[in-house]
Structure 1
Amino acid sequence: MLHRAGDREEARNRLSQLWHEIGPQGDAFHRCTLAHYMADTQDDPKDELDWDLRALEAAEGFVTERTDDTGAAPGATSVADGPGPRHPLVALRAFFPSLHLNLATDYAGLDRRAEARAQLVRARASANALADGEYRQGLREAIDRLELRLEGSAGPLP
């Protein structure tokens, strides 16, 4: 609410406190969500990229490949073991397109077009895996807009 009201600094301070409370061993779903929001409160584009990378790292750490003998097929995804409550994998999968899109936007803003394009490919693939609906459509439109900006811009992107 603070961030949306325009108080980025206070939002950043409070989210930082939460980040330290959760800690590196805290629930990955919560770390992903918090880092995702923390990125949006940053003033420096490099700091925003760092927080978006933390969000992706937490999300990827949350999803593991099952290789045990529980009867699951090799390569089947499950929720990682660890402290904290378990969250549906479906809820986390919905984050991936947005995480990759944010990273693409970060890289584009830092004039790192190749990395931005690579993240757009990942964003599009993960968006295509979502169920049809407004969220998926909105992500696809945002991906298309950034792709057009990347193709049409010779200088640094805003």
Structure 2
Amino acid sequence: MSTTTTSTTTDTATAGTDPTMDAIGRAVVAGRAGETRSARRQLLELWSETGVTGDPLHRCSLAHYLADLHDDPAQALAWDVRALDAADAVTEQRVQEHHAGLHIAGFYPSLHLNLADNYRRLGSFDAAAEHLDAARTYAPALPADAYGDTLRTALDEVAEAVARRDTTRRPSAPGPTA
């Protein structure tokens, strides 16, 4: 996932082929290459195919990445809430089936960070602080690598912005720029 997300693209550690996760990965690459509309369209099609009762890992990943493709914090918030709800239904076994190196606990710092940042951008600083606290509770599950460092830095950035009551978009935030 983005600088505030958990990786969902497949690699050699993947237990099996998952066409939906592969398609999500391709859309994410397109979105990061600046093809926001195309990426959003691809992910929305996958969301429709998956449905609200489909595989929770697919729903979590789709919603998480769809949130990153919206500059409007209210639209991003709606998708990030869906991602968190879906994560609560993902089992450790399902995550391991997708990628042996992933753990569902590692999703939560990013999911709560994104919610905190959306609430902050909307001026709901108390809600932002609650999600920052939740993200920090899960932060020990972050890996000691560049991804973990990026998330820890983003947590600090959002916390500082909340303290300043700043609602502007962070330059390091994932997604399209206005």
- TM-score interval for Structure 1 and Structure 2 normalised by the shorter chain: 0.7 to 0.9
Q: Are 1:40 and 2:68 matched, yes or no? A: yes
1:9-20 → structure 2 map (5 Å cutoff): 9-20=37-48
| Displacement of 1:99 | 0.4
Q: Does 1:60 align with 2:71?
A: no
Offset of 1:130 from its aligned partner?
3.2
2:143 matches 1:135: no
Map of 2:17 onto structure 1: none
Give distance in 1, aligned partners of 2:66 and 2:167. 24
Distance 1:44 1:141 in 2: 22
Instruction: Tell me which structure has the larger Cα radius of gyration.
Output: 1
Q: Distance in 2 between matches of 1:56 and 1:116?
A: 15
Letter in 2 for 1:44: D
TM-score (norm 1): 0.78
Gaps of 5+ in 2: 1-28, 170-178
How far apart are the structure 2 equivalents of 1:87 and 1:131? 16
Q: CA deviation at 1:61?
A: 1.9
Q: Deviation at 1:131? A: 4.2
Q: How far apart, CA to CA, are the structure 2 residues paired with 1:146 and 1:43?
A: 16
Aligned-residue offset at 1:126? 0.5
User: Aligned equivalents of 1:46 and 1:33: distance in 2?
Assistant: 19
Correspondence for 1:157 among 154, 168, 173: 168
**How far 1:95 moved relative to its partner?**
1.1
Instruction: Return the alpha-carbon distance in structure 1 between the equivalents of residues 153 and 72 of structure 2.
Output: 26
8 A contact 2:161–2:167 mirrored in 1: no
Sort the Cα spacing of 1:156 and 1:43 in 2 relative to 1 into closer, same or farther, 3 A: closer
The one of the two structures with greater contact order (alpha-carbon pairs below 8 A, sep at least 6) is 2
Q: How many residues align?
A: 137
TM-score w.r.t. the length of structure 2 is 0.70
Aligned Cα root-mean-square deviation (Å):
1.9
Identity %: 41
3-state SS in 2 of match to 1:26: coil
- Deviating beyond 6 angstroms after TM superposition, the runs of 4 or more aligned structure 1 residues are none
Q: Deviations over 1:51-107 (max 9, x none)?
A: 0000000001225xxxxxxxxxxxxxx65xxxxxx3229532211100000001100
